Structures are given as structure tokens and as C-alpha cells.
Amino acid sequence: MKYMKLLMTAMAAILFFSGFWSGKSNSDLRKERLKTNKETLAYLYKYAPKSKEMIRRAYGYATFTNLGVNLVILSAEGGKGVAHNNKTGKNIYMNMASGGVGLGLGVKDFRVVFIFENKKVFDNFVNHGWEANAQADAAAKAGKKGGAVNAAITVAPGVRLYKLTQNGLALQATIQGTKYWKDGDLN
């Protein structure tokens, strides 16, 4: 029960600091997400130049900014992002939350980029958005100092994932359930 209270407190803090209750207009929130999307792609292209061509040829992609907390045996993440359909040019504003169990300790700010090869996997992600995963990583980064273990992986047929650590200090090995969903206020 003690860990559950810690997890709930951590999740509330993640949601608060990630801007879910910012008081800004929907127009301003959309602009912020598009700016973050652009920054995330620039960061990805710097460290994985081949991803630029992959995204250009893809049916669509999604970028998310996330804040994660690991407290001994529980982990929680929260974030927001944009899914972009390359064929129609439409942006779909989305949110994400995750909870899991495993060994870990730390806090980290990271970005996630999904690349969708076809309409079926893009539509499935946007409309259903579940991802279940196991992960192990180590990150020690503050601004431009430090490093992080990041790699592109295929998470499902037709879907590639890049995870880019922005800031934080974490050591973890967790099994998590993550939910991505459309933002009802911004779409």
C-alpha cells in the first residue's frame, strides 16, 4: 500500500509538471506541441540521421515528450505528443500514461518517436494506442552533459520506436503497460 501511494503521488506530479493542467488556451497548447515535435525530430536527426529518410517515406509518425519516475519496484510515466499523418498532413494531438513494476530508481525526461510504415499501423496506434513493453536502460544526463542508452527498435510489424533521453538520472529494468490516446480537448 505504501508503494501504491508513492506511485500515485509520482503520477500526479508527472501530470502536473508535464502541463496537463497549464491553464493555457488550446491554441497555445497545440503550438507548444508542434514546437516540441519539431525539436524532437531535430534531436533525433542529429543522433540518428537515417531516421529522417525513414520518416519522410513513412505513412506517419508520432513524437512524445515524457517524464518518468521509478520508485524501487514501481514506475510511472506521463506525457503528451503529436501523431502526424504524412499522407494527409493532419496532426492528431495525443497523451500518454504508463505504469509498471520492476527494479528501478530515478527520474528522467525523455522523448519517444514512433515511425509507422503504413495506414493500418498508424490508424491502430491513433485509435487504440496500447503498447506493452519490457525495458532496461541506464541514463545519466543533465542538459548537454552525460549520456543515455537509446536505440531504434521494431515494436510491432510496421512500427519502429526511438527513445531519446533528454535529462535525468535513472537505472531501471521494468515491465510496463503504456496507453496512448487522443487528446479530447485539442483535436
Beta-ladder partners of 47: none
Report the distance separating Cα 62 and Cα 125, nearest Å.
9
Examine the pLDDT at 36 and tell me if it is beyond 60: yes
Pick 60 or 1 by higher pLDDT.
60
pLDDT for the residue numbered 48? 87
Phi/psi at 102 (5° precision): 150, 180
Give whichever of 48-52, 69-73, 76-80, 150-154 has the largest mean pLDDT: 48-52
C-beta separation of 63 from 113 below 8 A: yes
142: left (phi over 0), alpha (psi -120 to 50) or beta: beta
> What is the pLDDT confidence band of residue 159, given thresholds at 50, 70 and 90?
very high
pLDDT digits (tens, 9 = 90+) for 56-99: 999 999 999 988 777 767 777 889 999 999 999 999 999 998 87
